[in-house]
Structure 1
């Protein structure tokens, strides 16, 4: 590399002191203060994104007396807090958007389906099923059965488990009594719920 290259002149490890740029900060906006305004403080409601520049002492004093909700009634503060839960975005109740949701088929406002040949509607077969509560679900798991088990399957499985875990049937082994109690309790739960 040549020493007198124009590229070599542009490389500087450390600029000279007089060439270092001093960071320009505004002066403190507190009346009568001439220090640097190193800290920002919000101007208030309806002036979002606007700030005062204060020194450290004055920003502390400003923050102690700052109240975003000053001048608002209690109802207005409550409404603001309620809207803050959704990020101040509008919301709708379920099913109140209008008649377009109740039309036959599917809605495609952007026409994506038209580009791909349209929607195909798949009908799920309607099967009558009862709502299964958590206790009933646990009882079926205790017996080792699926949610779709019939009454005959439940009775058969119960009889098999009782024969397996009853102390009279397994040679007097009392180590499975807890399991037997759980099986009996699960069967009674299912019987009371009308499964068998």
Structure 2
């Protein structure tokens, strides 16, 4: 089967591509091709000079990004650069007083300060024996003889008859009797 009026040609016409425009070196008096870019200033980092190899080397050797800045300004710029010039906040600043609402075992109170306060309160809570020792003004090793001697001394000192029926003395006397009973029970048990 023969196609009418159509002749195949495997030859593709070869047109010479247009020559790329060449930039001239931006260094004054240089006629070489400017192939290498260099930023114009630290404030305009997207605007460039185009230099030949020799002049870009000289420009880079003499260019200082921080030229004209005080040490405080340099430090501020370095800090901003570490976060890619984005605004940051101190940790927890945007969260407010939000509490976590998921249930996890947090014995050290990492997520909730109330847990720490409760645990500290439990740790500081006195046992009945410790409270009784405090009331009896005793510390250290306790024997039955020491307890009885201290009891007699405190009863004589705080007896309500000696204070003319004073309510505070009466309450202290009751407290001493209760402490004595508690300590006596723990020593004889």
Q: Classify the TM-score, shorter chain.
A: 0.3 to 0.5
Structure number with larger C-alpha Rg: 2
> Given the two structures, how large is their TM-score scaled by the length of structure 1?
0.46
Q: Which TM-score applies when normalising by structure 2? A: 0.47
